[in-house]
Amino acid sequence: MMESPLFSIIVPVYKAEKVLPECIESILSQTFSNFELLLINDGSPDKSGTLCEEYARKDRRICVFHKNNGGVSSARNFGIERAKGKWVAFVDSDDWLEVNFLEKMLNIAQKLNVNAVFCNCSYVFENEIKADNRFKENKIEDSVAVVKRILNKYEMRSELWGKIIQKKFLQTLKLKEHVAIGEDFLFLLELYHGYELKTAIITDHLYFYRQLKESAMSRNNIAAFNKILLKEYLQFVERNPDMAEKFKQENAVYITRIIISSLKKDLNQCKDPFVMTMLKENYNMAVTALQKNEKRLIQLLYIHPALAKLEQFVMKLIFERKNRT
């Protein structure tokens, strides 16, 4: 009789036939072996589904599910509903794990008696691997401290991967399937605002995050996607009034950074009354806390979008000249 898995590893699969084997092999070769691997084929049109089935025939820990395409959040929700483990870990199909990811994360969780463990990641580029050192020291944090990190991209990546979380907290929530950018962020925010989770932050680089070239569609639509995210976030704050009081500056900075991200891609967004209202409402508090380059850009945007556009053009010329010398 197969022992009950301690971990459920959820991998949404879509158009991943070239990179999926590396991802799956990194999971199957883990030094801690008591896990189930849930491969959620999200209606992939390539051979990804066939690959999943081939691996499942070789290893009984693998469970393959085929569903109509609904997006990554839909696949993750599907996986959470079917997870049998005490702990859940999410892995993207183009990424992979350090061989001792599960063992290291579990040892920390058990030793410190925490509800979640977050680790650092490494970025995988075409010709090199670079470490992301956002977590600078090992520590235990409460939910308030983690929410502050979630709202500050320089403190923590807000994706679900690179983390293990007890399933009992996840199964009461749903990822928002209509949100294309920032769905992980919204999920973690709701989780940590809704529950008092004891979380271990560790500096080990145990997750490898592949950097793929951004598609033309995502580049063209990022401003629209960010506007949806911003509205979802504002609705969350409205439903939870204590957020505005507890995290005043973090709220302002987060909102302003979404606007900066959108406007860098599409300065026409400045004509949107909703966007400009958000910018003006949060400008004073955010500008004191922003990074130097963000501060300069937001100040120029506040005066006139054309100045921000000129700034970006000049900075691009300087960057290109540096690269030529």
User: Mind listing the pLDDT tens digit for each residue in 268-292?
Assistant: 666 778 888 888 899 898 888 888 8
Which residues does residue 35 pair with via DSSP β-bridges, in sequence order? 7
Classified by CATH at the fold level, domain 7-210 comes out as Spore Coat Polysaccharide Biosynthesis Protein SpsA; Chain A (3.90.550)
Which residues does residue 66 pair with via DSSP β-bridges, in sequence order? 41
Q: What share of the chain has pLDDT > 70, as a percent?
A: 90
Q: Under DSSP, is residue 208 helix (H, G, I), strand (E, B) or coil?
A: strand
Return all residues near 248 (Cβ < 8 A) that are at least 6 apart: 285
pTM recorded for the entire structure: 0.90
Q: What local confidence, expressed as pLDDT, does residue 293 receive?
A: 80
Return all residues near 159 (Cβ < 8 A) that are at least 6 apart: 184
Dist CA 20 CA 28 (whole Å) = 12
pLDDT (mean) for 200-220: 78
Residues of each domain in the chain carrying CATH 3.90.550.10: 7-210
Between 257 and 81, whose confidence is greater? Answer: 81
Q: What local confidence, expressed as pLDDT, does residue 1 receive?
A: 40
pLDDT (mean) for 11-23: 97
Phi first, then psi: give them for residue 179, nearest 5 degrees. Answer: -100, 120
Whether the Cβ atoms of residue 142 and residue 230 lie closer than 8 Å to each other: no
**Most confidently modeled range among 185-194, 216-225, 287-296:** 185-194
Q: What local confidence, expressed as pLDDT, does residue 279 receive?
A: 85
Q: pLDDT band for position 297 (50/70/90)?
A: confident
* Host H or E run for residue 146: helix 143-150
* Host H or E run for residue 124: strand 116-124
Q: Under DSSP, is residue 223 helix (H, G, I), strand (E, B) or coil?
A: helix
**Where do we find the tokens 């066939």?**
50
Q: pLDDT band for position 144 (50/70/90)?
A: very high
